[in-house]
Chain A
Amino acid sequence: MQTEILIAGFGGQGVLFAGQVLAYAAMDAGYEVTWFPSYGPEMRGGTANCTVIIADEEIGSPLVAHPKVLMALNAPSLDRFEPQVQPEGLIVANASLLSRPVERQDVTAITLKANHIAEELGDRRMANMVMLGALSTHLPVLTLEQIKAALRDHLPKRKHHLLEANYRALDTGAARARIVA
Protein backbone atom coordinates (compact mmCIF):
# COMPACT_ATOMS: atom_id res chain seq x y z
CA MET A 1 0.00 0.00 0.00
CA GLN A 2 1.40 3.35 -1.06
CA THR A 3 -0.08 6.86 -1.16
CA GLU A 4 1.62 9.62 -3.13
CA ILE A 5 0.74 13.23 -2.34
CA LEU A 6 1.94 16.06 -4.57
CA ILE A 7 1.70 19.52 -2.99
CA ALA A 8 2.26 22.48 -5.31
CA GLY A 9 1.97 26.25 -5.21
CA PHE A 10 3.94 29.48 -5.24
CA GLY A 11 7.17 29.74 -3.27
CA GLY A 12 6.19 31.28 0.09
CA GLN A 13 2.80 29.54 0.38
CA GLY A 14 4.18 26.96 2.78
CA VAL A 15 4.12 24.12 0.27
CA LEU A 16 7.27 22.43 1.57
CA PHE A 17 6.23 22.86 5.20
CA ALA A 18 2.77 21.38 4.59
CA GLY A 19 4.49 18.34 3.08
CA GLN A 20 6.82 18.05 6.05
CA VAL A 21 3.87 18.07 8.47
CA LEU A 22 2.37 15.13 6.56
CA ALA A 23 5.73 13.37 6.55
CA TYR A 24 6.12 13.78 10.30
CA ALA A 25 2.59 12.51 10.88
CA ALA A 26 3.28 9.48 8.68
CA MET A 27 6.55 8.72 10.45
CA ASP A 28 4.89 8.96 13.87
CA ALA A 29 2.13 6.63 12.66
CA GLY A 30 4.83 4.03 11.92
CA TYR A 31 4.80 4.30 8.14
CA GLU A 32 7.74 4.57 5.78
CA VAL A 33 7.75 8.01 4.21
CA THR A 34 9.73 10.14 1.78
CA TRP A 35 9.52 13.91 1.34
CA PHE A 36 11.02 15.08 -1.92
CA PRO A 37 11.21 18.82 -2.67
CA SER A 38 11.67 20.63 -5.93
CA TYR A 39 14.93 22.27 -4.99
CA GLY A 40 15.96 24.03 -8.18
CA PRO A 41 16.06 27.71 -9.03
CA GLU A 42 12.30 27.51 -9.68
CA MET A 43 11.83 27.70 -5.91
CA ARG A 44 12.87 31.33 -5.92
CA GLY A 45 9.73 33.29 -6.69
CA GLY A 46 8.23 30.73 -9.04
CA THR A 47 6.45 27.50 -8.26
CA ALA A 48 7.39 25.12 -5.50
CA ASN A 49 6.29 21.56 -5.07
CA CYS A 50 7.03 18.52 -3.00
CA THR A 51 6.08 14.88 -3.17
CA VAL A 52 5.27 12.93 -0.02
CA ILE A 53 5.05 9.15 -0.34
CA ILE A 54 3.59 7.16 2.53
CA ALA A 55 3.87 3.36 2.46
CA ASP A 56 3.91 0.30 4.67
CA GLU A 57 7.05 -1.13 3.05
CA GLU A 58 10.46 0.10 1.83
CA ILE A 59 9.73 2.95 -0.58
CA GLY A 60 11.13 2.69 -4.08
CA SER A 61 11.04 5.79 -6.23
CA PRO A 62 10.69 9.07 -4.30
CA LEU A 63 8.94 10.58 -7.34
CA VAL A 64 5.96 9.27 -9.30
CA ALA A 65 4.54 10.25 -12.66
CA HIS A 66 0.96 9.83 -11.40
CA PRO A 67 0.30 10.73 -7.76
CA LYS A 68 -2.84 9.54 -5.99
CA VAL A 69 -3.36 12.95 -4.38
CA LEU A 70 -2.78 16.52 -5.57
CA MET A 71 -3.00 19.52 -3.26
CA ALA A 72 -2.87 22.58 -5.53
CA LEU A 73 -2.45 25.95 -3.86
CA ASN A 74 -2.62 28.07 -7.02
CA ALA A 75 -3.86 28.04 -10.60
CA PRO A 76 -0.59 27.12 -12.39
CA SER A 77 -0.20 24.08 -10.12
CA LEU A 78 -3.67 22.82 -10.97
CA ASP A 79 -3.04 23.39 -14.68
CA ARG A 80 0.25 21.54 -14.57
CA PHE A 81 -0.58 18.60 -12.33
CA GLU A 82 -4.33 17.93 -12.72
CA PRO A 83 -3.81 15.70 -15.79
CA GLN A 84 -1.25 13.60 -13.91
CA VAL A 85 -3.43 12.52 -10.96
CA GLN A 86 -4.34 8.82 -10.89
CA PRO A 87 -7.92 7.92 -11.86
CA GLU A 88 -10.00 7.59 -8.64
CA GLY A 89 -7.49 9.95 -7.04
CA LEU A 90 -8.04 13.10 -5.00
CA ILE A 91 -7.54 16.76 -5.89
CA VAL A 92 -7.75 19.46 -3.25
CA ALA A 93 -7.53 22.92 -4.80
CA ASN A 94 -7.38 26.43 -3.39
CA ALA A 95 -10.37 28.23 -4.92
CA SER A 96 -9.06 31.61 -3.73
CA LEU A 97 -6.47 31.53 -6.49
CA LEU A 98 -8.16 29.44 -9.17
CA SER A 99 -9.42 30.80 -12.46
CA ARG A 100 -11.39 27.65 -13.29
CA PRO A 101 -12.92 24.63 -11.58
CA VAL A 102 -11.32 21.18 -11.42
CA GLU A 103 -12.13 19.55 -14.73
CA ARG A 104 -11.37 15.88 -14.12
CA GLN A 105 -14.51 13.78 -13.65
CA ASP A 106 -12.70 10.60 -12.61
CA VAL A 107 -11.27 11.94 -9.34
CA THR A 108 -12.66 13.24 -6.08
CA ALA A 109 -12.29 17.03 -6.17
CA ILE A 110 -12.43 19.29 -3.15
CA THR A 111 -12.15 23.05 -3.43
CA LEU A 112 -12.19 25.70 -0.76
CA LYS A 113 -11.15 29.34 -0.56
CA ALA A 114 -8.13 28.71 1.60
CA ASN A 115 -6.73 32.26 1.41
CA HIS A 116 -10.08 33.79 2.30
CA ILE A 117 -10.57 31.37 5.18
CA ALA A 118 -7.06 32.01 6.46
CA GLU A 119 -7.68 35.76 6.35
CA GLU A 120 -10.95 35.31 8.23
CA LEU A 121 -8.96 33.44 10.86
CA GLY A 122 -6.57 36.36 11.09
CA ASP A 123 -3.45 35.12 9.27
CA ARG A 124 -3.29 34.59 5.53
CA ARG A 125 -0.09 32.57 5.93
CA MET A 126 -2.19 29.75 7.38
CA ALA A 127 -3.73 28.93 3.99
CA ASN A 128 -1.49 25.87 3.75
CA MET A 129 -2.89 24.51 7.03
CA VAL A 130 -6.47 25.23 5.90
CA MET A 131 -5.71 23.17 2.78
CA LEU A 132 -4.15 20.39 4.85
CA GLY A 133 -7.28 20.27 7.01
CA ALA A 134 -9.42 19.88 3.90
CA LEU A 135 -7.06 17.21 2.55
CA SER A 136 -7.30 15.24 5.81
CA THR A 137 -11.03 14.66 5.31
CA HIS A 138 -10.36 12.35 2.35
CA LEU A 139 -6.82 11.16 2.94
CA PRO A 140 -6.99 7.42 3.61
CA VAL A 141 -3.72 7.11 5.53
CA LEU A 142 -3.71 9.92 8.11
CA THR A 143 -6.31 11.54 10.34
CA LEU A 144 -6.67 15.21 11.28
CA GLU A 145 -5.72 14.29 14.85
CA GLN A 146 -2.47 12.66 13.68
CA ILE A 147 -1.61 15.76 11.66
CA LYS A 148 -2.26 17.99 14.68
CA ALA A 149 -0.12 15.73 16.86
CA ALA A 150 2.71 15.96 14.31
CA LEU A 151 2.61 19.76 14.53
CA ARG A 152 2.62 19.64 18.33
CA ASP A 153 5.47 17.13 18.51
CA HIS A 154 7.75 18.54 15.81
CA LEU A 155 7.17 22.31 15.70
CA PRO A 156 10.11 23.90 17.55
CA LYS A 157 9.14 25.01 21.08
CA ARG A 158 9.77 28.65 20.22
CA LYS A 159 6.92 28.46 17.72
CA HIS A 160 4.44 26.71 20.02
CA HIS A 161 2.51 29.97 20.52
CA LEU A 162 1.34 29.42 16.92
CA LEU A 163 -0.07 25.95 17.60
CA GLU A 164 -3.62 27.01 18.52
CA ALA A 165 -3.94 29.15 15.38
CA ASN A 166 -2.66 26.26 13.24
CA TYR A 167 -5.12 23.84 14.85
CA ARG A 168 -7.92 26.31 14.14
CA ALA A 169 -6.84 26.57 10.50
CA LEU A 170 -6.75 22.77 10.18
CA ASP A 171 -10.18 22.39 11.83
CA THR A 172 -11.75 25.12 9.71
CA GLY A 173 -10.27 23.66 6.52
CA ALA A 174 -11.70 20.24 7.43
CA ALA A 175 -15.12 21.74 8.24
CA ARG A 176 -15.31 23.83 5.06
CA ALA A 177 -14.02 21.19 2.63
CA ARG A 178 -16.68 20.59 -0.02
CA ILE A 179 -16.63 17.86 -2.61
CA VAL A 180 -17.38 19.47 -5.95
CA ALA A 181 -16.99 16.48 -8.24
Chain B
Amino acid sequence: MPRELMKGNVAMAEAAIRAGLEAYFGYPITPQSELLEHMAKRMPEEGRAFLQAESEVAAINMVYGAACTGARVMTSTSGPGISLMAEGISYIAGTEVPAVIVDVMRGGPGLGNIAPSQGDYRQVIHGAGHGDFFPIVLAPASVQEAVDLIGEAFDIAEKYRTVVFVVADGSIGQMMEPVELPEPRPLRRERPDWAVSGAAGRPHRTLTSLYLKPEVEERINLRILKRWQEAEANEVRYREYYLDDAEFVVLGFGTAGRVALSAVRAAREEGIRVGLFRPVSLRPFPYQAIRDLAQRAKAFLVVEMNGGQMLEDVQAAAQGQVPMRFYGRMGGMVPFPDEVLEEIRTLAADPPTPTENPRARWLAHMMPA
Protein backbone atom coordinates (compact mmCIF):
# COMPACT_ATOMS: atom_id res chain seq x y z
CA MET B 1 0.00 0.00 0.00
CA PRO B 2 1.29 3.53 -0.71
CA ARG B 3 1.83 5.83 2.24
CA GLU B 4 -0.78 8.47 3.02
CA LEU B 5 -0.32 11.59 5.13
CA MET B 6 -2.95 11.38 7.84
CA LYS B 7 -3.93 13.09 11.07
CA GLY B 8 -3.75 10.69 14.02
CA ASN B 9 -7.44 10.94 14.88
CA VAL B 10 -8.52 10.32 11.28
CA ALA B 11 -6.02 7.50 10.86
CA MET B 12 -7.27 5.74 14.01
CA ALA B 13 -10.86 6.00 12.78
CA GLU B 14 -9.99 4.66 9.34
CA ALA B 15 -7.91 1.85 10.87
CA ALA B 16 -10.91 0.80 12.98
CA ILE B 17 -13.18 0.79 9.92
CA ARG B 18 -10.66 -1.35 8.05
CA ALA B 19 -10.44 -3.70 11.04
CA GLY B 20 -14.12 -4.48 10.50
CA LEU B 21 -15.73 -2.04 12.91
CA GLU B 22 -19.50 -2.52 12.72
CA ALA B 23 -20.75 0.20 15.06
CA TYR B 24 -19.38 3.43 16.53
CA PHE B 25 -21.01 5.48 19.28
CA GLY B 26 -19.49 8.66 20.63
CA TYR B 27 -19.76 12.23 21.76
CA PRO B 28 -17.48 15.04 20.55
CA ILE B 29 -14.64 16.32 22.72
CA THR B 30 -11.37 18.00 21.74
CA PRO B 31 -8.71 16.75 21.03
CA GLN B 32 -10.35 13.62 19.56
CA SER B 33 -13.30 15.09 17.63
CA GLU B 34 -11.83 14.39 14.16
CA LEU B 35 -12.05 10.69 15.00
CA LEU B 36 -15.81 10.96 15.52
CA GLU B 37 -16.14 13.23 12.47
CA HIS B 38 -14.39 10.72 10.23
CA MET B 39 -16.68 7.99 11.57
CA ALA B 40 -19.73 10.19 10.87
CA LYS B 41 -18.69 10.42 7.24
CA ARG B 42 -17.30 6.97 6.59
CA MET B 43 -19.49 4.57 8.58
CA PRO B 44 -22.70 5.41 6.67
CA GLU B 45 -20.73 5.10 3.40
CA GLU B 46 -19.90 1.54 4.45
CA GLY B 47 -23.50 0.87 5.48
CA ARG B 48 -22.48 0.55 9.14
CA ALA B 49 -23.76 2.17 12.32
CA PHE B 50 -22.62 5.61 13.42
CA LEU B 51 -24.43 7.39 16.20
CA GLN B 52 -23.57 10.62 17.99
CA ALA B 53 -25.09 10.04 21.40
CA GLU B 54 -26.52 12.69 23.70
CA SER B 55 -23.65 12.18 26.17
CA GLU B 56 -20.69 9.96 26.94
CA VAL B 57 -22.86 8.02 29.40
CA ALA B 58 -25.27 7.19 26.60
CA ALA B 59 -22.46 6.41 24.15
CA ILE B 60 -20.77 3.84 26.37
CA ASN B 61 -24.08 2.12 27.12
CA MET B 62 -24.77 1.89 23.39
CA VAL B 63 -21.30 0.36 23.03
CA TYR B 64 -22.26 -2.09 25.78
CA GLY B 65 -25.47 -3.10 24.03
CA ALA B 66 -23.84 -3.50 20.63
CA ALA B 67 -20.96 -5.48 22.16
CA CYS B 68 -23.48 -7.93 23.62
CA THR B 69 -24.62 -8.78 20.09
CA GLY B 70 -21.06 -9.79 19.21
CA ALA B 71 -20.54 -6.80 16.92
CA ARG B 72 -17.15 -5.09 16.61
CA VAL B 73 -17.78 -1.83 18.41
CA MET B 74 -15.85 1.14 19.70
CA THR B 75 -16.06 4.64 21.12
CA SER B 76 -13.55 7.43 21.54
CA THR B 77 -13.28 10.35 23.91
CA SER B 78 -10.90 12.31 26.13
CA GLY B 79 -10.37 12.29 29.92
CA PRO B 80 -13.63 13.97 31.01
CA GLY B 81 -15.51 11.53 28.79
CA ILE B 82 -13.70 8.53 30.29
CA SER B 83 -14.82 9.74 33.72
CA LEU B 84 -18.43 9.76 32.57
CA MET B 85 -18.05 6.37 30.92
CA ALA B 86 -16.51 4.66 33.93
CA GLU B 87 -19.73 2.96 35.05
CA GLY B 88 -20.47 1.59 31.58
CA ILE B 89 -16.89 0.41 31.13
CA SER B 90 -17.18 -1.61 34.34
CA TYR B 91 -20.48 -3.12 33.17
CA ILE B 92 -18.83 -4.13 29.87
CA ALA B 93 -15.95 -5.73 31.79
CA GLY B 94 -18.34 -7.43 34.24
CA THR B 95 -20.44 -8.80 31.38
CA GLU B 96 -17.26 -10.09 29.70
CA VAL B 97 -17.94 -8.55 26.32
CA PRO B 98 -15.26 -7.00 24.09
CA ALA B 99 -15.06 -3.30 23.26
CA VAL B 100 -12.38 -0.86 22.13
CA ILE B 101 -12.12 2.60 23.68
CA VAL B 102 -9.80 5.34 22.43
CA ASP B 103 -8.73 8.00 24.93
CA VAL B 104 -7.01 11.02 23.38
CA MET B 105 -5.73 12.58 26.58
CA ARG B 106 -5.84 16.31 27.35
CA GLY B 107 -4.69 18.57 30.17
CA GLY B 108 -6.49 18.14 33.48
CA PRO B 109 -7.82 17.44 36.06
CA GLY B 110 -11.33 18.84 35.74
CA LEU B 111 -12.18 20.71 32.59
CA GLY B 112 -8.45 21.41 32.22
CA ASN B 113 -7.60 22.26 28.62
CA ILE B 114 -7.27 20.65 25.20
CA ALA B 115 -3.46 20.43 25.07
CA PRO B 116 -1.64 17.06 24.97
CA SER B 117 -1.27 15.22 28.29
CA GLN B 118 -0.74 11.77 29.76
CA GLY B 119 -2.67 12.57 32.91
CA ASP B 120 -5.21 9.76 32.45
CA TYR B 121 -2.59 7.04 33.01
CA ARG B 122 -3.75 6.12 36.50
CA GLN B 123 -7.42 6.49 35.61
CA VAL B 124 -7.25 4.14 32.64
CA ILE B 125 -4.51 1.74 33.70
CA HIS B 126 -5.37 1.37 37.36
CA GLY B 127 -8.98 2.44 37.37
CA ALA B 128 -11.28 2.51 34.35
CA GLY B 129 -14.26 1.42 36.44
CA HIS B 130 -15.32 -0.13 39.73
CA GLY B 131 -14.80 -3.74 40.70
CA ASP B 132 -12.28 -6.45 39.93
CA PHE B 133 -11.06 -6.30 36.37
CA PHE B 134 -8.02 -5.23 34.37
CA PRO B 135 -8.46 -3.45 31.06
CA ILE B 136 -5.80 -3.99 28.42
CA VAL B 137 -4.17 -0.66 27.56
CA LEU B 138 -2.06 0.10 24.49
CA ALA B 139 -0.16 3.38 24.00
CA PRO B 140 1.03 4.40 20.52
CA ALA B 141 3.79 6.98 19.99
CA SER B 142 3.17 7.66 16.30
CA VAL B 143 0.31 7.74 13.84
CA GLN B 144 1.48 4.48 12.23
CA GLU B 145 1.69 2.76 15.59
CA ALA B 146 -1.79 4.05 16.44
CA VAL B 147 -3.11 2.52 13.22
CA ASP B 148 -1.40 -0.80 13.92
CA LEU B 149 -2.56 -0.97 17.55
CA ILE B 150 -6.18 -0.10 16.69
CA GLY B 151 -6.17 -3.05 14.29
CA GLU B 152 -4.85 -5.36 16.98
CA ALA B 153 -7.09 -3.93 19.71
CA PHE B 154 -10.25 -5.53 18.33
CA ASP B 155 -8.67 -8.98 18.07
CA ILE B 156 -7.27 -8.69 21.60
CA ALA B 157 -10.61 -7.47 23.01
CA GLU B 158 -12.39 -10.46 21.47
CA LYS B 159 -9.75 -12.97 22.46
CA TYR B 160 -9.95 -12.04 26.15
CA ARG B 161 -13.56 -10.75 26.13
CA THR B 162 -12.48 -7.50 27.72
CA VAL B 163 -12.15 -3.77 27.30
CA VAL B 164 -9.10 -2.65 25.34
CA PHE B 165 -8.04 0.98 25.58
CA VAL B 166 -5.85 2.75 23.07
CA VAL B 167 -4.47 5.80 24.89
CA ALA B 168 -3.04 8.55 22.74
CA ASP B 169 -2.61 12.20 23.61
CA GLY B 170 -3.62 15.39 21.88
CA SER B 171 -0.44 15.56 19.86
CA ILE B 172 -0.83 12.07 18.35
CA GLY B 173 -4.48 12.87 17.64
CA GLN B 174 -3.69 16.18 15.94
CA MET B 175 -0.42 15.57 14.14
CA MET B 176 -0.05 14.25 10.59
CA GLU B 177 2.43 11.54 9.64
CA PRO B 178 2.74 9.18 6.70
CA VAL B 179 0.93 5.92 7.34
CA GLU B 180 0.44 2.67 5.57
CA LEU B 181 -3.13 1.59 6.18
CA PRO B 182 -3.98 -2.10 6.28
CA GLU B 183 -6.19 -3.72 3.66
CA PRO B 184 -9.84 -3.58 4.74
CA ARG B 185 -10.90 -6.76 6.50
CA PRO B 186 -14.28 -8.25 5.60
CA LEU B 187 -16.97 -7.92 8.25
CA ARG B 188 -17.31 -10.99 10.44
CA ARG B 189 -20.42 -12.97 9.56
CA GLU B 190 -20.44 -15.56 12.34
CA ARG B 191 -21.19 -14.42 15.88
CA PRO B 192 -19.31 -15.62 18.99
CA ASP B 193 -20.99 -18.42 20.95
CA TRP B 194 -21.77 -16.07 23.85
CA ALA B 195 -23.43 -13.33 21.80
CA VAL B 196 -27.13 -12.49 22.14
CA SER B 197 -27.87 -12.52 18.46
CA GLY B 198 -31.41 -13.94 18.28
CA ALA B 199 -32.26 -17.29 19.92
CA ALA B 200 -34.39 -18.80 17.16
CA GLY B 201 -33.61 -22.52 16.99
CA ARG B 202 -31.19 -22.57 19.93
CA PRO B 203 -31.31 -22.23 23.74
CA HIS B 204 -31.40 -18.63 24.87
CA ARG B 205 -28.32 -16.89 26.28
CA THR B 206 -28.11 -14.30 29.02
CA LEU B 207 -25.47 -11.61 29.27
CA THR B 208 -25.34 -9.67 32.51
CA SER B 209 -23.02 -8.14 35.06
CA LEU B 210 -25.54 -8.74 37.86
CA TYR B 211 -24.67 -11.75 40.02
CA LEU B 212 -26.56 -11.48 43.28
CA LYS B 213 -25.02 -14.57 44.80
CA PRO B 214 -21.49 -13.78 45.94
CA GLU B 215 -20.32 -17.35 45.31
CA VAL B 216 -21.41 -16.99 41.67
CA GLU B 217 -19.86 -13.53 41.31
CA GLU B 218 -16.64 -14.86 42.75
CA ARG B 219 -16.52 -17.57 40.08
CA ILE B 220 -17.05 -14.89 37.40
CA ASN B 221 -14.34 -12.73 39.00
CA LEU B 222 -11.94 -15.67 38.95
CA ARG B 223 -12.77 -16.38 35.31
CA ILE B 224 -12.08 -12.75 34.40
CA LEU B 225 -8.81 -12.87 36.34
CA LYS B 226 -7.80 -16.10 34.61
CA ARG B 227 -8.24 -14.46 31.20
CA TRP B 228 -6.25 -11.46 32.44
CA GLN B 229 -3.45 -13.80 33.46
CA GLU B 230 -3.33 -15.10 29.88
CA ALA B 231 -3.26 -11.53 28.57
CA GLU B 232 -0.38 -10.79 30.94
CA ALA B 233 1.53 -13.70 29.48
CA ASN B 234 0.79 -12.90 25.82
CA GLU B 235 0.21 -9.20 25.32
CA VAL B 236 3.25 -7.40 26.71
CA ARG B 237 4.61 -4.99 24.11
CA TYR B 238 7.49 -2.50 24.22
CA ARG B 239 10.14 -0.89 22.03
CA GLU B 240 13.83 -0.64 22.84
CA TYR B 241 16.26 1.95 21.43
CA TYR B 242 20.06 2.02 21.88
CA LEU B 243 19.88 -0.26 24.94
CA ASP B 244 22.57 -2.81 24.01
CA ASP B 245 25.43 -0.97 25.72
CA ALA B 246 23.36 1.50 27.73
CA GLU B 247 24.46 2.47 31.23
CA PHE B 248 21.52 4.80 31.65
CA VAL B 249 17.94 4.07 30.63
CA VAL B 250 15.20 6.57 29.89
CA LEU B 251 11.66 5.19 30.15
CA GLY B 252 8.66 6.90 28.63
CA PHE B 253 5.50 5.98 26.72
CA GLY B 254 3.63 7.62 23.86
CA THR B 255 4.63 11.18 23.02
CA ALA B 256 6.89 11.48 26.08
CA GLY B 257 8.71 8.39 24.76
CA ARG B 258 9.34 9.87 21.34
CA VAL B 259 10.44 13.22 22.80
CA ALA B 260 12.87 11.21 24.93
CA LEU B 261 14.10 9.43 21.79
CA SER B 262 15.34 12.77 20.38
CA ALA B 263 17.04 13.54 23.68
CA VAL B 264 18.66 10.08 23.84
CA ARG B 265 20.08 10.50 20.33
CA ALA B 266 21.48 13.94 21.25
CA ALA B 267 23.01 12.53 24.45
CA ARG B 268 24.58 9.66 22.47
CA GLU B 269 26.27 12.27 20.26
CA GLU B 270 27.79 13.69 23.45
CA GLY B 271 29.13 10.24 24.30
CA ILE B 272 26.64 9.34 27.03
CA ARG B 273 25.75 5.65 26.90
CA VAL B 274 22.00 6.04 27.24
CA GLY B 275 19.08 4.14 25.74
CA LEU B 276 15.30 4.35 25.66
CA PHE B 277 12.70 1.82 26.82
CA ARG B 278 9.23 2.68 25.54
CA PRO B 279 6.35 0.61 26.98
CA VAL B 280 3.66 0.10 24.33
CA SER B 281 1.32 -2.03 26.43
CA LEU B 282 0.72 -0.13 29.67
CA ARG B 283 -1.51 -2.98 30.85
CA PRO B 284 -0.07 -5.60 30.90
CA PHE B 285 2.93 -3.51 31.96
CA PRO B 286 6.36 -4.81 30.88
CA TYR B 287 7.43 -5.57 34.46
CA GLN B 288 9.90 -8.33 33.61
CA ALA B 289 11.72 -6.43 30.85
CA ILE B 290 12.08 -3.41 33.15
CA ARG B 291 13.26 -5.65 36.03
CA ASP B 292 15.95 -7.06 33.72
CA LEU B 293 17.09 -3.56 32.77
CA ALA B 294 17.12 -2.52 36.43
CA GLN B 295 19.67 -5.25 37.12
CA ARG B 296 22.19 -3.95 34.60
CA ALA B 297 21.58 -0.17 34.39
CA LYS B 298 23.35 2.45 36.50
CA ALA B 299 20.25 4.64 36.73
CA PHE B 300 16.75 5.14 35.28
CA LEU B 301 15.10 8.36 34.17
CA VAL B 302 11.31 8.18 33.80
CA VAL B 303 9.81 10.87 31.53
CA GLU B 304 6.07 11.53 31.38
CA MET B 305 3.53 14.20 30.56
CA ASN B 306 2.03 13.87 34.03
CA GLY B 307 3.23 13.98 37.63
CA GLY B 308 4.89 10.57 37.69
CA GLN B 309 2.03 8.11 37.30
CA MET B 310 3.91 5.44 35.33
CA LEU B 311 6.88 6.14 37.59
CA GLU B 312 5.14 4.16 40.32
CA ASP B 313 4.82 1.12 38.05
CA VAL B 314 8.46 1.42 37.01
CA GLN B 315 9.44 1.53 40.68
CA ALA B 316 7.35 -1.57 41.34
CA ALA B 317 9.05 -3.33 38.43
CA ALA B 318 12.56 -2.27 39.43
CA GLN B 319 12.09 -3.44 43.03
CA GLY B 320 14.67 -1.00 44.32
CA GLN B 321 17.44 -2.48 42.17
CA VAL B 322 18.29 0.76 40.38
CA PRO B 323 18.29 4.40 41.50
CA MET B 324 15.81 6.51 39.63
CA ARG B 325 14.96 10.05 38.63
CA PHE B 326 11.79 11.52 37.16
CA TYR B 327 11.08 14.36 34.77
CA GLY B 328 7.54 15.38 33.88
CA ARG B 329 5.55 18.21 32.37
CA MET B 330 1.93 18.60 33.37
CA GLY B 331 -1.30 20.37 32.55
CA GLY B 332 -0.95 20.11 28.77
CA MET B 333 2.73 21.07 28.56
CA VAL B 334 4.84 18.92 26.23
CA PRO B 335 8.55 18.67 27.07
CA PHE B 336 11.08 19.73 24.46
CA PRO B 337 13.94 17.28 23.80
CA ASP B 338 16.38 19.86 25.22
CA GLU B 339 14.75 19.58 28.65
CA VAL B 340 15.08 15.80 28.66
CA LEU B 341 18.66 16.03 27.35
CA GLU B 342 19.55 18.26 30.29
CA GLU B 343 18.10 15.63 32.66
CA ILE B 344 20.14 12.90 30.95
CA ARG B 345 23.33 14.96 31.29
CA THR B 346 22.67 15.44 35.00
CA LEU B 347 21.80 11.75 35.39
CA ALA B 348 25.17 10.74 33.90
CA ALA B 349 27.28 13.38 35.68
CA ASP B 350 25.60 13.11 39.06
CA PRO B 351 23.70 9.81 39.31
CA PRO B 352 20.91 9.48 41.85
CA THR B 353 21.47 7.82 45.20
CA PRO B 354 19.56 4.62 45.97
CA THR B 355 17.37 6.39 48.52
CA GLU B 356 16.59 9.46 46.42
CA ASN B 357 12.87 10.19 45.99
CA PRO B 358 12.40 10.83 42.25
CA ARG B 359 9.16 12.76 42.51
CA ALA B 360 10.27 14.89 45.47
CA ARG B 361 13.47 15.92 43.69
CA TRP B 362 11.57 16.79 40.51
CA LEU B 363 8.93 18.75 42.39
CA ALA B 364 11.62 20.73 44.20
CA HIS B 365 13.14 21.51 40.79
CA MET B 366 9.79 22.57 39.26
CA MET B 367 8.63 24.55 42.30
CA PRO B 368 11.66 25.87 44.18
CA ALA B 369 10.76 26.96 47.71
Kindly state the separation between the CA atoms of A37 and B177 in the bound complex, as whole angstroms: 12
Which residues of the partner chain B approach A41 to less than 8 Å between Cβ atoms? Answer: 114
Which residues of the partner chain A approach B115 to less than 8 Å between Cβ atoms? Answer: 40
Chain A proximity mask over B171-183: 1 for CB below 8 Å, otherwise 0: 1001111100000
Chain A, residue nearest B256 (CB): A61
CB <8 Å contact, B261 and A60: yes
CB <8 Å contact, A60 and B3: no
**Cβ-defined partner of A40 (8 Å) among B114, B177, B262:** B114
CB <8 Å contact, B5 and A61: no
A23-75 interface with B by 8 A CB criterion: 23-24, 27, 32-37, 39-41, 58-66
* Also in contact, A27 and B5, with CB within 8 A (given A39-B31, A58-B261): yes
**Contact residue range for chain A?**
20 to 34
CB <8 Å contact, A62 and B175: yes
**Cβ-defined partner of B3 (8 Å) among A27, A37, A61, A64:** A27
* Also in contact, A34 and B177, with CB within 8 A (given A20-B5, A27-B5, A60-B261): yes
Total A-B residue pairs with C-beta atoms closer than 8 Å? 72
CB <8 Å contact, A34 and B262: no
Kindly state the separation between the CA atoms of A120 and B262 in the bound complex, as whole angstroms: 43
Chain A, residue nearest B31 (CB): A39
CB <8 Å contact, A37 and B174: yes
Which residues of the partner chain A approach B5 to less than 8 Å between Cβ atoms? Answer: 20, 23-24, 27, 33, 35, 154
* Also in contact, A27 and B337, with CB within 8 A (given A39-B114, A60-B265, A61-B262): no
- Is B259 among interface residues, defined by CB-CB distance under 8 A? yes
**Cβ-defined partner of B338 (8 Å) among A40, A58, A62, A65:** A65
Chain A, residue nearest B264 (CB): A60
Which residues of the partner chain B approach A63 to less than 8 Å between Cβ atoms? Answer: 171, 259, 334, 336
Query: Which among B176, B178, B334 has the highest number of chain A CB atoms within 10 Å?
Result: B176
CB <8 Å contact, A39 and B178: no
- Tell me the minimal C-beta distance from B257 to chain A in angstroms: 9
Which residues of the partner chain A approach B31 to less than 8 Å between Cβ atoms? Answer: 39
- Is B258 among interface residues, defined by CB-CB distance under 8 A? yes
Kindly state the separation between the CA atoms of A81 and B205 in the bound complex, as whole angstroms: 64
Chain B, residue nearest A52 (CB): B176
CB <8 Å contact, A62 and B178: no
Which residues of the partner chain A approach B337 to less than 8 Å between Cβ atoms? Answer: 60-61, 64-65
CB <8 Å contact, B114 and A62: no
Kindly state the separation between the CA atoms of A63 and B30 in the bound complex, as whole angstroms: 20
Which residues of the partner chain B approach A37 to less than 8 Å between Cβ atoms? Answer: 174-175
Between-chain CB contacts (< 8 Å), 27 pairs:
A20-B5, A20-B176, A23-B176, A24-B5, A27-B3, A33-B5, A35-B176, A35-B177, A36-B171, A37-B175, A39-B114, A40-B113, A41-B114, A58-B261, A60-B262, A60-B264, A60-B337, A61-B258, A61-B259, A61-B261, A61-B336, A61-B337, A62-B258, A63-B171, A64-B262, A65-B337, A66-B338
Told that A35-B176, A59-B258 touch, could you supply 8 new A-B pairs with CB distance under 8 A? A27-B178, A33-B178, A34-B175, A37-B175, A41-B114, A60-B262, A61-B336, A63-B334
